[in-house]
């Protein structure tokens, strides 16, 4: 039995630095989970990274990380798929001019 490559979810991987990081990790053969809010965009980037990296172990999950209930569902899906998380890359940022709360009352 061979050594498994690390398994890594990465969010913020559809544009810029996050996308470049995801591609680099995939090219090294890592088991990569791309997490995004927009299914169309996330699917397109996942397929592009698979094609460019020749790594079939690139998948995606849809999740709004600003909603804790959605994060819990994501964890359940990952566990239900029998996946593990060796390390996590958070590459999401936002700038809000106006104070906002989520449906759960979180800033």
pTM to 2 decimal places:
0.86
Which pLDDT does position 94 carry in this prediction? Answer: 73
Identify whether the C-beta of residue 35 lies closer than 8 Å to the C-beta of residue 8.
Answer: no
Rounded Cα distance, 49 and 29, in Å: 11
Which pLDDT does position 1 carry in this prediction? Answer: 54
Rounded Cα distance, 84 and 64, in Å: 20
Which pLDDT does position 107 carry in this prediction? Answer: 79
Rounded Cα distance, 65 and 45, in Å: 18
In three-state form (DSSP H/G/I as H, E/B as E, the rest C), the secondary structure along 47-107 is HHHHHHHCCCCEEEEECCCCCHHHHHHHHHHHHHCCCCCCCCEECCCCCCCCCCCCCCCCC
Which pLDDT does position 4 carry in this prediction? Answer: 78
Rounded Cα distance, 34 and 3, in Å: 22
Average pLDDT for consecutive 10-residue bins of the chain (107 residues)? 82 92 96 96 97 97 93 95 92 81 82
Which pLDDT does position 92 carry in this prediction? Answer: 81
């Amino acid at each position: 039995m061979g050594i498994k490559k690390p398994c890594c979810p990465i969010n913020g991987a559809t544009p810029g630095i996050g996308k470049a990081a995801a591609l680099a990790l995939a090219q090294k053969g890592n088991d990569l989970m791309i997490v995004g809010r927009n299914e169309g965009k996330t699917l397109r980037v996942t397929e592009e990274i698979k094609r460019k990296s020749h790594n079939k172990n690139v998948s995606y999950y849809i999740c709004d990380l600003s909603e804790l209930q959605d994060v819990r569902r994501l964890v359940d899906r990952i566990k239900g798929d029998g996946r593990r998380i060796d390390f996590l890359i958070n590459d999401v940022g936002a700038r809000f001019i106006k104070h906002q709360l989520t449906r759960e009352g979180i800033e």
